[in-house]
Chains A and B, each alone.
Chain A
Amino acid sequence: MKKFPSAMLPITFSWIVGILLASVLSIPFWIVIFTIVALITLSFVKNIRNIVIILSFFFLAFFRVNVSQFVQTNHIKNLLTVKTDIQQPIKGRIVSEVNFNGKRNFAELELIEIKGLPVQGKISFSFDDNLQYGDIIETIAFLQKYNNSSNPFSFDYAEFLEFKKIYGKGYPKTEIKIIESERSLLKIGVINVRSWLRNRINERFGEYSGFIRAILIGEKQDLSDWKQKLNQAGLSHILAVSGLHVGILSLVFFLILKIIFRNRYLSRILLILILLFYAAICGWTPSVTRAVIMISLYLISKMIQRKPNSNSILATSLFIITIFDPKQLFSIGLQLSFTAVFILLNILPQIRYIKLKRDEIILLSFGKKILNGILTLMFSSAIISICLAPVTMYYFHQFNLNGILANLIAIPLISLILPLSIVIIILPSFVAVYYIFSFKIVMQFFNFWSNLSASLPLHFDFLRFNSWQFFISLILLISFPIIKNFKKRKLTLTLYTLFFVNIAFSFINLEKDVFKITFFDCDVGDMFLIEADNSQKMLIDTGPPEFSKKHFKYSALGYFQKKGISEIDYIIITHAHNDHYGGLEYILINMKVKNLVMTDDFQKRGIWNYLKKFVTKDTNIITVNDVMNISTKDYQCQIIHPDKNYFHGNINNMSIVIHLDFDELQVLFTGDIEEEGEEYLLHNYCMELDADILKIGHHGSKTSSTSEFIEKVSPDYAFIPTSMKNKFAFPHKITLQKYDFLGKNLFIAGIDGALQVSSDGKSAVFKTFKSKRIVYASELN
């Protein structure tokens, strides 16, 4: 082990590899335990002891993952899988701070009993009563599972909460009875200090309180426009409480402690305790935990008077975090945080062709010194953003170089803002007033600077980066500091080039796509994407409005980002209802639209006056006032409704109806047309109605889908874009009965989730994203 700078490096490496493999493979418990015992016995043989120790950490990781995956049969997770809705008398203990989300109070509830039987696991509980942390309550409650994501590549809230060990949600049906209280002093301390800090911040920072809450106590709920702005400016790292923040905090506190106590031992131990408490206040997020553990280890190294090795400290903190929760390894925050520090420690010092040595800097003139400082900082942030690109591109599909310039001013500013805000919080109000004034000036400048940086052009979105690319880049990143020791210039250069080429690949889309139609699940709302061979992308309708849970941002954006679709060739808005044009504003602002297709009727509506503002001059507006054809390289779209002779007072009946032809595959998109529209189509465009797949009209309402129309279309497959529980009672029973003949070939968004049809023109595959069904249609006719 002498070859490594520290024994923790190989140990952590094998531990992490163990965790990764263990979450893919499952090895029976007894084999793992048997191997560990065998390895411990083998470790008495001196020659192979080192290898055996490293190997045993590999298996210990398996053991740890197996333990964490073990779920008891009476766990709420299991109960909610068997029965999705539970309405029973429950007993539970509130284990988190009670927060108010604007409508109701909510907190984490640790279940104790359901119907008198013992249960385990936590749920998120919302209520109106005045409860506090630690209260043990009894009530009759309605418990429910969180919905898994039903759209391809969209954010999975249920999975996200399961990560936080919350397995469901619930609310009381009857009055809540508080039986007793069971509080841990430490947690009460954390909660009280946090709410004291929150109140103090809200009281003193006014309009900036949301921002200060995010950077001081890690509460990111009220960030609104900051998040987007800083992300575009390449400054999102400022919002994560991490090394910079904890570092400044510990410097301030250590100074105070040093003044109070003569004994350095004591002040260091106190500082570690303060930092741990601070991590608890921030809710143990990976980045703050990492920073706190690393600084604590550094302080410990000072106490035992050893020179610390930064890589060893980094590895140890990763080891400690994953011991407590191996799942954290897969959290984005942890990966970002550790990769960033890894780059800072290992890769940045390696590439310093333009960086001068310390004794060379002393000789420079003052101006050159400043220039050198600026160049070094810019160079460092460029290297960090490039090396972090695999992580940001894989998870956020973004790549940002605006930070190179933005960080120059933003980091000094934030190093001013942080201590200032600490001072403002600590001081009594009559003194703090003076500081608040200077704080506001700094913040205004920061605000100005981030606005400016956000408007720089080097922010790239919608980049495609698949898991293989991600995997290869990470391996390359780790290998860079290792190959340094071989002293082979050619090999080093080759690997670096490989790394950059791998990233550059994401900027050009090389993958060829088969013809695909994706019917997104946006509850009651239409949104269908047609892709063919990479260049022809058509979006029919844009889903429900902003306030809805399945707005474009939450239902389809993930798919667009993952696939690297930032440009849409055609957007067709069928008619002027907000469950059809809801996402248009967002799309027009954030993506490139080549052609926007709508009826002349739509353009008469007030909403168009509003939306018009977001249409840039690159967008060509196509107005439909008669039957027309939109032909692309691979498929033909016939707009068969409304023609120039048709007019109806009901907006629904003015919907654009599209008949799509891709070789043998024919799809009919009927918008929201009702009986009258269907009748008109039957009389006038009878020949164009036949289709293999029918997008059923008006979300399965009984006002459309007449029997004659269905007979004429004679679909083999159909999709209803509606949820199962809504105020319109869509889909109506009568309609469903009419489509009974389709059997399993009827897909409903509320049951099946999104539906994706891939086709080569002769056959098709139907894939659903909630019910996870796959249906093959070997022959289309």
Chain B
Amino acid sequence: MKQFKPINPFDLIFPKICLNCGIRINSDEKFLCNNCFSSLHYFSENYCEICGGLKEENSCRICETNDFLFDKARSAYQLNSTLSKLIHSFKYEEMTSLGKFMAIQTAEFVRKYNPFEKVDFITPVPLHTVKTRIRGFNQAEVLSAEIGKNLNIRHLSNLVLRKRFTETQTKLSRKNRIKNVSNAFGLNKKYNIKRKNILIIDDVFTTGSTVNAICSTLKNSGADKVFVLTIARA
């Protein structure tokens, strides 16, 4: 006979459900049922060494058409319907605990495949103050803090600052995205990043224009190597 476990009243009223398929999940499962969780695979094959995108016939078309300033970008997963639901819940329904969960998975990915060399600082893609207040938090900061804690890297939440308010990237074309974010970022003078390796964290890597803009700011200030790590690769 199992030991009598006290019932959590919250479990009665708000039962844990799988965020993808909606069925009830057991207490040992987190956010997803085992079935949906197993549909997520680390993005560890067929990726481009530089931009981390899907490689077609040994060449990366994205890298050929862009001139990325960062040294290496990697994503833990490829974006699929399950993952986009998770990220949506995390960003727009204030489920920061879900963000932490995904950050832990991403940290595990880094530990497993060790894609980057020595990293000195870990920093999130900044969000404008107004937007942070509207959304309640900066999703990248939640991720980077958790990843930094897990990988034992110093986390600088305010290394990069957003100088002006930019439109949301999600609704713009690639060309406009680059225009949108150029000159949007500045550096916090408090930190010295000369000859340091920096890891930038974001939730989704789509065209890379945001991180590229940050990267140019960092490199101009003397950073040695800049890496990009995201949960998902679109």
Bound together:
yes
Q: What residues make up the interface of A, taking CB atoms closer than 8 Å to B?
A: 2, 5-8, 11, 44, 46, 258-259, 262, 264, 297, 300-302, 304-309, 312-313, 316
Q: Collect the chain B residues with CB atoms within 8 Å of residue A11's CB.
A: 12
Closest CB-CB distance, A51 to chain B, in whole Å?
Answer: 15
Assess A264 versus B17: contact at CB under 8 Å? Given A46-B1, A258-B133, A307-B89: no
Contact A8 B12 (CB under 8 A): yes
Contact A307 B19 (CB under 8 A): yes
Contact A306 B12 (CB under 8 A): no
Contact A309 B97 (CB under 8 A): no
Q: Collect the chain A residues with CB atoms within 8 Å of residue B222's CB.
A: none
- Interface status of B113 (Cβ within 8 A of chain A): no
Closest CB-CB distance, B53 to chain A, in whole Å?
Answer: 27
- The contact sample of 16 A-B pairs, CB cut-off 8 A, is A5-B24, A6-B13, A8-B13, A11-B12, A44-B4, A46-B1, A46-B2, A297-B13, A302-B93, A302-B94, A304-B10, A305-B94, A305-B98, A306-B15, A313-B13, A316-B13
Cα distance, A411 to B192, chains bound together (Å): 59
Closest CB-CB distance, A49 to chain B, in whole Å?
Answer: 9
Contact B14 A304 (CB under 8 A): yes
Cα distance, A305 to B86, chains bound together (Å): 13
Q: Collect the chain A residues with CB atoms within 8 Å of residue B4's CB.
A: 44
Cα distance, A499 to B24, chains bound together (Å): 32
Cα distance, A732 to B126, chains bound together (Å): 93
Most buried by A among B1, B24, B94: B24
Assess A307 versus B13: contact at CB under 8 Å? Given A46-B2, A262-B133, A264-B136: no
Cα distance, A288 to B179, chains bound together (Å): 50
Partner of A5, one of B2, B15, B96: B15
Closest CB-CB distance, A50 to chain B, in whole Å?
Answer: 11
Partner of A306, one of B2, B16, B96, B133: B16
Most buried by A among B1, B10, B15: B15
Q: A2-B24, A312-B13 are in contact. List 4 more A-B contacts (CB 8 A).
A: A8-B13, A300-B14, A301-B14, A307-B93
Cα distance, A262 to B134, chains bound together (Å): 10
Cα distance, A2 to B11, chains bound together (Å): 12
- Interface status of B95 (Cβ within 8 A of chain A): yes
Q: Collect the chain B residues with CB atoms within 8 Å of residue A8's CB.
A: 12-13
Q: Collect the chain B residues with CB atoms within 8 Å of residue A44's CB.
A: 4
Q: Collect the chain A residues with CB atoms within 8 Å of residue B97's CB.
A: 305
Cα distance, A6 to B13, chains bound together (Å): 7
Q: Collect the chain A residues with CB atoms within 8 Å of residue B19's CB.
A: 307
Residue of A nearest to B95 (CB): A305
Residue of B nearest to A2 (CB): B24
Q: Collect the chain A residues with CB atoms within 8 Å of residue B2's CB.
A: 46
Contact A264 B133 (CB under 8 A): no
Most buried by B among A6, A44, A300: A6
Cα distance, A6 to B15, chains bound together (Å): 6
Cα distance, A309 to B17, chains bound together (Å): 9
Cα distance, A297 to B96, chains bound together (Å): 19
Q: Collect the chain B residues with CB atoms within 8 Å of residue A316's CB.
A: 13
Q: Collect the chain B residues with CB atoms within 8 Å of residue A307's CB.
A: 14, 17, 19, 89, 93
Cα distance, A297 to B9, chains bound together (Å): 12
Q: Collect the chain B residues with CB atoms within 8 Å of residue A309's CB.
A: 14-15, 17
Cα distance, A302 to B12, chains bound together (Å): 15
Contact A305 B13 (CB under 8 A): no
Contact A308 B136 (CB under 8 A): no
Closest CB-CB distance, A247 to chain B, in whole Å?
Answer: 18
Q: Collect the chain B residues with CB atoms within 8 Å of residue A6's CB.
A: 12-15
Q: Collect the chain A residues with CB atoms within 8 Å of residue B98's CB.
A: 305
Q: Collect the chain A residues with CB atoms within 8 Å of residue B12's CB.
A: 6-8, 11
Contact A312 B133 (CB under 8 A): no
Contact A308 B1 (CB under 8 A): no
Contact B10 A7 (CB under 8 A): no
Cα distance, A308 to B97, chains bound together (Å): 15
Closest CB-CB distance, B96 to chain A, in whole Å?
Answer: 7
Residue of B nearest to A7 (CB): B12
- Interface residues in B120-160 (C-beta closer than 8 Å to A): 133, 136
Q: Collect the chain B residues with CB atoms within 8 Å of residue A313's CB.
A: 13
Residue of A nearest to B90 (CB): A305
Contact A7 B1 (CB under 8 A): no
Q: Collect the chain B residues with CB atoms within 8 Å of residue A264's CB.
A: 94, 136
Closest CB-CB distance, B103 to chain A, in whole Å?
Answer: 15
Q: Collect the chain A residues with CB atoms within 8 Å of residue B133's CB.
A: 258-259, 262
Residue of B nearest to A263 (CB): B136
Cα distance, A262 to B137, chains bound together (Å): 10
Cα distance, A2 to B27, chains bound together (Å): 12
Assess A305 versus B24: contact at CB under 8 Å? Given A6-B15, A312-B15: no
Contact A306 B10 (CB under 8 A): yes
Q: Collect the chain A residues with CB atoms within 8 Å of residue B136's CB.
A: 264
Contact A305 B15 (CB under 8 A): no
A interface footprint on B8-51 (CB within 8 Å = 1, 0 otherwise): 00111111110100001000000000000000000000000000
Residue of B nearest to A45 (CB): B1
Closest CB-CB distance, A303 to chain B, in whole Å?
Answer: 9
Contact A312 B14 (CB under 8 A): yes
Cα distance, A569 to B93, chains bound together (Å): 64
A-B CB proximity, top 9 nearest: A306-B14, A7-B12, A305-B97, A305-B95, A301-B14, A6-B15, A264-B136, A316-B13, A2-B24
Cα distance, A258 to B131, chains bound together (Å): 12
- Interface residues in B68-103 (C-beta closer than 8 Å to A): 89, 93-98
Cα distance, A6 to B16, chains bound together (Å): 9
Closest CB-CB distance, A605 to chain B, in whole Å?
Answer: 67
Most buried by B among A44, A46, A306: A306
Closest CB-CB distance, A292 to chain B, in whole Å?
Answer: 16
Cα distance, A8 to B13, chains bound together (Å): 6
